[in-house]
């Protein structure tokens, strides 16, 4: 009974794939450095590099959308497709999500996707955001975030959608939801994800203040599970993965589903309304002005 409802839920979460692969090169396969058999072949796309290890059942998925892994529509699309590919391949039980860009895990939403764009584009973009969150939050795989760089806003949400987070101990690598500082508001599903991770009071404070936590504070508040020297992020993520994979899949997956279903269902029930809210909010003149000003500040901040 529990299994059947878990499967039905997973099926509902598998929402439509998009036909929006502008400029993507999906499905490319090439030998990993060091060569080897099938287990060592890497695949992926232009913006997502997947290094599968069939022997351990673990794949490393690297975001590579330089300079800062901003979540462009293409990156969102390629992430969903790469994840789906691994989920459909029974060889794999876990994914380590990390960045191929130096110093940044993910800069969050790509502001150029919502600045000066028409409502139809903003809607398409937001649906892609929702899709990635649903896919990661409900993934049947064990997802471990190896956070090897700055992790604001949408980057933080991707990390929080994983089962476990390992952050590199570098004061520049801050993590949190800073939306209010851009003059925008985190949608309810981001807020729910935050609350589910660090609790109501800490979320209330951090969300209103737009706090970006340095590693020690992120650990203290519970945003991340481990803080380790930068050169140990990958090995620690692998050790964490082993701990999670020691649990039988069916028991772990059904428990994950039990813990996360209500939060995901809330978005699934209101997906269109959430998109409309986002579009009407972000297309307001006043919001466009503050987003433009924020982007300009980022561009001038060089050095
Ligand atoms: C999965 C579901 C997700 C749901 C998400 C829902 C809502 C999310 C809200 C958001 O995500 S809003 C975005 C918030 N992001 C930020 O505030 C981060 C802004 N960026 C930074 O703070 C810094 O860039 C950095 C990430 C700390 C990296 O610093 P660094 O010094 O290494 O690089 P920069 O010189 O600042 O930037 C290089 C280059 O990249 C441009 N850029 C940076 N961030 C963004 C962005 N989010 N979108 C678009 N472009 C960005 C920056 O302007 C520079 O461009 P240039 O042309 O080279 O000047």
Confidence band of 42 (pLDDT split at 50, 70, 90): confident
Ligand 1 atom at minimal distance to the Cα of residue 130: 2
Q: State the Cα torsion 285-287-293-294 to the nearest 10°.
A: -160
Confidence band of 303 (pLDDT split at 50, 70, 90): low
**Which residues, at least 6 apart from 226, have a Cβ–Cβ distance to it below 8 Å?**
165, 166, 167, 219, 236, 240
User: Greater confidence, 119 or 19?
Assistant: 119
State the average pLDDT over residues 147-170. 98
For the chain, what is the mean pLDDT?
89
pLDDT tens string 85-138: 999 999 999 999 999 999 999 999 999 999 999 999 999 999 999 999 999 999
State the average pLDDT over residues 155-164. 98
Q: Which tokens hold the place of 240?
A: 């964490």
189 has a pLDDT exceeding 60: yes
Ligand 1 atom at minimal distance to the Cα of residue 107: 26
Residues linked to residue 151 through DSSP beta bridges, in sequence order: 175
HSE-up (13 A, CA, CB side) for residue 44: 21
How remote is the CA of residue 106 from the centroid of ligand 1, in Å? 8
Q: Give the C-alpha separation, 19 to 262, whole Å.
A: 29
How remote is the CA of residue 286 from the centroid of ligand 1, in Å? 20
- Give the residue, out of 68, 82, 178, with the most ligand 1 atoms within 8 A of its beta carbon, to mutate for a pocket test: 68
Q: Give the C-alpha separation, 274 to 257, whole Å.
A: 22
Residues linked to residue 226 through DSSP beta bridges, in sequence order: 166
Predicted pLDDT of residue 301: 83
Predicted-assembly ipTM surpassing the 0.90 threshold: yes
74 has a pLDDT exceeding 90: yes
Q: Which tokens hold the place of 86?
A: 């691994």
The reply to whether ligand 1 has any atom less than 6 angstroms from the CB of 83 is no
Q: Which tokens hold the place of 260?
A: 């996360």
How far lies 303's CA from each of 24, 105, 189, in Å? Answer: 32, 19, 35
19 has a pLDDT exceeding 90: no
How many Cβ atoms are within 10 Å of 284's Cβ, its own excluded?
Answer: 10
Predicted pLDDT of residue 194: 98
Ligand 1 atom 23, closest CA: 107
Q: Which tokens hold the place of 259?
A: 């813990």
The reply to whether ligand 1 has any atom less than 6 angstroms from the CB of 241 is no
Ligand 1 atom at minimal distance to the Cα of residue 109: 11
The reply to whether ligand 1 has any atom less than 6 angstroms from the CB of 152 is yes
How far lies 175's CA from each of 67, 93, 165, 184, in Å? Answer: 18, 27, 11, 17
Ligand 1 atom at minimal distance to the Cα of residue 76: 1
Catalytically active residues are 109, 154, 178-179
The reply to whether ligand 1 has any atom less than 6 angstroms from the CB of 301 is yes
Ligand 1 atom 4, closest CA: 154
Task: Transcribe 76-87 into DSSP letters.
Answer: HHHHHHHHHHHH
How remote is the CA of residue 14 from the centroid of ligand 1, in Å? 29
Residue whose C-alpha is closest to residue 95's, from 161, 42, 144, 163: 144
pLDDT tens string 206-251: 999 999 999 999 999 999 999 999 999 999 999 999 999 999 999 9
How remote is the CA of residue 301 from the centroid of ligand 1, in Å? 12
The reply to whether ligand 1 has any atom less than 6 angstroms from the CB of 176 is no
Three-state DSSP at 136 gives: helix
Residue whose C-alpha is closest to residue 63's, from 165, 145, 121, 176: 145
DSSP H or E segment with residue 143 = strand 142-147
Please, is 100 exposed, middle or buried when counting C-beta atoms within 10 Å of its C-beta (0-12, 13-18, 19+)? middle
State the average pLDDT over residues 287-300. 95
- Give the residue, out of 139, 298, 300, with the most ligand 1 atoms within 8 A of its beta carbon, to mutate for a pocket test: 298
Q: Give the C-alpha separation, 141 to 163, whole Å.
A: 9
Confidence band of 35 (pLDDT split at 50, 70, 90): very low
State the average pLDDT over residues 159-164. 98
How far lies 66's CA from each of 15, 47, 69, 249, 275, in Å? Answer: 28, 9, 5, 35, 27
Three-state DSSP at 98 gives: strand
Predicted pLDDT of residue 41: 66
Q: Look at the chain and count its residues.
A: 303
- Give the residue, out of 80, 108, 271, with the most ligand 1 atoms within 8 A of its beta carbon, to mutate for a pocket test: 108
> What are phi and psi for residue 52, nearest 5 degrees?
-85, 145
Which pTM was predicted?
A: 0.89
Chain centroid offset of residue 194 CA? 13
């Amino acid at each position: 009974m529990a299994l059947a409802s878990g499967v039905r839920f997973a099926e509902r979460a598998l929402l439509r794939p998009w036909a929006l692969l502008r400029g993507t090169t999906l499905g490319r396969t090439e030998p990993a450095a060091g060569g080897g058999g099938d287990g060592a072949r890497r695949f992926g796309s232009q913006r997502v590099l997947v290094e599968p290890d069939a022997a351990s059942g673990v794949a490393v998925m690297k975001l590579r959308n330089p300079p800062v892994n901003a979540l462009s529509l293409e990156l969102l699309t390629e992430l969903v497709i790469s994840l789906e590919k691994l989920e459909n391949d029974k060889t794999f039980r876990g994914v380590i999500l990390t960045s191929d860009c130096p110093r940044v895990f993910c800069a969050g939403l790509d502001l150029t996707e919502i600045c000066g764009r028409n409502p139809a584009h903003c809607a398409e973009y937001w649906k892609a955001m929702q899709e990635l969150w649903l896919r990661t939050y409900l993934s049947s795989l064990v997802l471990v975030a190896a956070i090897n760089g700055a992790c604001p806003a949408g980057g933080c949400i991707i990390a929080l959608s994983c089962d476990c987070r390992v952050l590199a101990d570098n004061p520049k690598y801050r993590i949190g939801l800073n939306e209010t500082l851009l003059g925008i508001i985190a949608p309810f599903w981001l807020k729910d994800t935050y609350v589910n991770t660090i609790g109501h009071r800490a979320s209330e404070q951090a969300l209103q203040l737009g706090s970006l936590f340095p590693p020690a504070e992120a650990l203290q508040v519970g945003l991340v599970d481990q803080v380790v020297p930068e050169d140990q992020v990958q090995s620690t993520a692998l050790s964490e993965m082993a701990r999670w994979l020691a649990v039988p899949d069916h028991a772990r997956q059904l428990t994950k589903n039990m813990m996360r279903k209500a939060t995901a269902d809330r978005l699934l029930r209101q997906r269109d309304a959430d998109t409309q809210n986002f579009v009407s909010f972000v297309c307001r003149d006043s919001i466009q002005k503050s987003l433009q000003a924020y982007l300009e500040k980022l561009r001038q901040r060089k050095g």
